[in-house]
Structure 1
């Protein structure tokens, strides 16, 4: 893996679309692209963590010019190789701080990618960076899960989410620092291989405060891209913050 690509180097990029195949289907992609295209309102969109183009490409097919920021050259190389990939502008860098020219009517960050920023300071910087790129009246959209701490009984720090004959996966949580990790144990030729990816979980109310620090306000929050109402039972949310028009 290329160190510059962090945890999304060549070994991950080569199989990313396959291992995340359920997220590339029309049922997952179309509602997100439709909602984002409506928010773009005919203007330009900036994707933070553009990856292999799961959302950027269908958004460009809806007539929205898209530019993406991503740390991983390996992931964005897959984007470039896809039909229409040359229409998406790409800047390599940390999306919490990297600036690109011009302004946008929409900045978006999907599929839990805000959690890839593993400190609160970096997440705050991300909101400020989004606001700096937005034109007045523009919107910043995040899709992310709600921390599932209610699944943790006293004294337990891990929650399994996949168990099978050839491997299992579990998340670990540190409720003091909000650090978490997704861990994958795979059996290969009778030997166990372990991979761990660090994250930082973040609450909806915490994100709202980050938005306020960046000069934005919450406009909408749904459970999903179909605008299902957000409730205390929702396991994820799609949130829309707005930069004031004046």
Structure 2
């Protein structure tokens, strides 16, 4: 990959058929762009099946590569840290296995990383709702689960609610899914089709009167959140409402 030699002998030693063609195409693409890549591809194998002399596997592979200009050796792109799903087929060749099929899929997250991301995401909403009644912008759970502008926004919102004598009630049901991780598993993106609580909304703390909000039974909101590793913990740093009254379908429900 560094030399741009799509006929490099090591490729033929490790791959054949469509798998070899896919590997050569990646090298040719780099060569045609006048670039070389250095680094490695980091595996996170999700599934593998072996039957006789054939095998198939699914891998959420990470790219730990830096691209350089082939002539000047000047770095032209930052070190990549994204992951994408690969489906591969292999054939036994003596004591070795040769790649003979290769298909690249969508962005992904390794299982263990995904579980940690979801723990951080749901912990964030636990803290937000714990701080909602009575509104407490200094609730310790907020700083432990949120960061950046998202933490600032929550504190401002809770301060306003407290000063105006309001409370927010009615946590919806979250159905988060990790879309992908990037930057060497230090940032993650989560989509969430939230089933709203029809009895929820913003209420007058003294009278209990509904002041704002309120949703119809079955109403859903589609959110996208970005999380980052802060002090060794996954924390929510940005939440975007993609669709209100969404037609999204909760995953896993």
For Structure 1 versus Structure 2, the TM-score category normalised by the shorter chain is under 0.3
TM-score of the aligned structures, taking structure 2 as reference length: 0.21
| More helix by percentage | 1
| More strand by percentage | 2
Larger RCO, structure (CA 8 Å, separation 6 or more):
1
